[in-house]
Amino acid sequence: MGKKNKLQRFAENLTFSNLFQYRYEEVVKGFSLRGKWKTDFFHNNHPLILELGCGKGEYTVEMARRNPEINYIGIDIKGARMWRGLKTAQEENLKNVAFVRTRIELSEYYFGEKEVDGLWITFPDPQIKAKRERKRLTSPRFLERYAKFLTPDAVIRLKTDALLLYDYTREVIEKGNHILLEANEDIYHSGIDNEITQIQTFYEKKWLEHGTPIRYLAFRLNPEWFEKKESKQ
C-alpha cells in the first residue's frame, strides 16, 4: 500500500464514530468508556467479545453480522488495515461493532474488571525467537493482562497457522492449570462447519491455498486467578 493511500485511510478513520484511538498518555489517565462499553456505547447489556490483532477486521465484522445480540470490538495497531473493517461496518450500519487502535498490551486500560466475555486471537505473530516469548499473545504475561478485564467464564479462542504457537499455548494452558475446552491441529480436515471455519481472514485464505493446516484452541483461564483477585479486594 502506498504512502498516499495510507494517509487517506488515516484521515477517513478520523470520521468513523466507532473508532477509538488515543495516545498512551491520554488513555492511562482514564478512558471514559472503561467499564462502560455496554451501557454508554452499545446501549445494551449484550455479551462483549474482543478480537485481538484484528487486521482488516474480517472476523470482527462477520461475527457482528451473524450475531446481532453480541457486541464485538476489534483491536489492532495498524490503522490502515483496520480502515477496511471500519468502512464495512459503517456501510452496513452495524451497531454492534467497534474498533480500538492500540497496542494489545494496553488493552487493560480500555476495559474494566469483568467487562469482557470472550476473546478471539486470530493469526497473531508467533514471535518465533525464544527471546521474544513474552510477546506471544498467549504467554502467561498476556494472559495475566486479559484476566484484569475478562469474566471468569470467558473463553479465549486462538486460530493460528503456526505449529510453534499452537504447541506453546497448549503448554501454557497445562502449566497454568487453565481449562482446555478444545484443541484441533487441522480444523479444515476435521468436519467443523461453523464460524471457526466459515469466517476466514485475508491471510488465512492465502495459507489455505498453500495447504497450510490451520490450528485452533479454546480455553478458559484458571478459576483460581479470579478467586485470588477477589480475595484481595
By the 10 Å C-beta count (0-12 exposed, 13-18 middle, 19+ buried), 112 is classed as: middle
Q: Which residues contact 162 (CB under 8 A, 6 or more apart)?
A: 126, 128, 215
Which CATH superfamily hosts domain 3-232? Vaccinia Virus protein VP39 (3.40.50.150)
Low-confidence stretches of the chain (pLDDT < 50) are: none
Alpha carbons 188 and 196: distance in angstroms, whole number: 9
- Identify the pLDDT of residue 13: 86
Catalytic residues: 125
pLDDT of residue 229: 62
- 120-161 pLDDT per residue, tens: 999 999 999 989 999 999 999 999 999 999 999 999 999 999
Give me the pLDDT at residue 169, please.
98
User: Is the C-alpha dihedral spanning 197, 199, 203, 209 positive or negative?
Assistant: positive
CA dihedral 85, 160, 42, 10 (to 10 degrees): -30
User: How far is the C-alpha of 19 from the C-alpha of 34, rounded, in Å?
Assistant: 15
CA nearest neighbour of 160 among 142, 134, 132, 187:
187
Asked if 146 contacts 220 with a C-beta cutoff of 8 angstroms, the reply is no
Question: Which residue from 122, 112, 128 is spatially nearest to 196, judged by alpha carbons?
Answer: 122
- Condensed to tens digits (0 to 9), the pLDDT of residues 183-205 reads 999 999 999 999 999 999 888 99
Q: What angle do CA 220, 57, 170 make, to 5 degrees?
A: 30
Task: Write the DSSP string, 102-135.
Answer: S-GGGGGGTS-TT-EEEEEEES-----SGGGGGG
Which residue carries 492449570 as its cell? 177
Please tell me the predicted confidence (pLDDT) of residue 18: 95
Query: What is the residue extent of each domain of the chain?
Result: 3-232
Tell me the chain's radius of gyration from C-alpha atoms. 17
